Amino acid sequence: MDSYEPINAQDLYNQFTPTEQVKEGTAKSTVPTNTYIFKTERYEARKAPSDHFKYPGRVLYSLNGTIEREKSVLGRIFVDTSTEVDPWRQKNGKMDGPALLWTHLIAALDAQGKSDGDVLDMTKLYPVEVYVKETFDVGEQEVDPKRRWLSAHTLEERTELFRKGYRASNRVTSIRKVR
């Protein structure tokens, strides 16, 4: 049986963990842009506070669950949906993300005409397919939103964006019935 070699504890006070190691080890885990199976484990209906940075006073139905690909769970994700449309339309008149995702969810579950509560309950029974987009924030120094948020199109590009220290995040952009 192997025996461990003791280390002088006093030497540890002159040893420091590199900042990059801590940054890498504590970075938020994301998945690459792709289609995944989403299984809702719980949901919450809530109204955002009036001082919320993005949706002040808006009613949101937040779904929380797992994403998988090829029958392997890759992580957890949440999806904010909303039945509130008109006050939140984009400048071009189209529905915003949460409203669009709610309508996608109803279509994916064949739940047209069902109550919101029934639709939410159905999300826990039936998985759906979600398109998850991974983006990288280059930082506040870039004011042009089209250049601030980057997407990787290859594994090499993704590796390079991580290497540069850009903060990665995921968001669901569409929902449909599992094929």
Residue 147 or residue 62, greater confidence: 62
Q: Is pLDDT at 26 greater than 80 in this prediction?
A: no
Contact residues for 107 (Cβ-Cβ < 8 A; gap 6+)? 176, 177
Rounded CA-CA distance 151/138 in Å is 11
Rounded CA-CA distance 55/113 in Å is 26
Rounded CA-CA distance 13/22 in Å is 18
Instruction: Tell me the average pLDDT across 48-65.
Output: 93
Instruction: Tell me the average pLDDT across 94-123.
Output: 97
Q: Where are the domains of the chain?
A: 26-176
- Residue 119 · residue 134 · CB < 8 Å: no
Q: Is pLDDT at 115 greater than 90 in this prediction?
A: yes
Residue 63 forms beta bridges with which residues? Answer: 43, 79
- Residue 88 · residue 80 · CB < 8 Å: no
Q: Is pLDDT at 118 greater than 90 in this prediction?
A: yes
Predicted confidence at residue 65, as pLDDT, reads 97
DSSP, res 21? H
Burial of 128 (0-12, 13-18, 19+ CB in 10 A): buried
The chain-wide mean pLDDT, for the chain, equals 92
Which pair of structure tokens corresponds to residue 74?
A: 């890759």
**pLDDT tens-digit readout, 127-153:** 999 999 999 999 888 888 788 899 999
Predicted confidence at residue 135, as pLDDT, reads 93
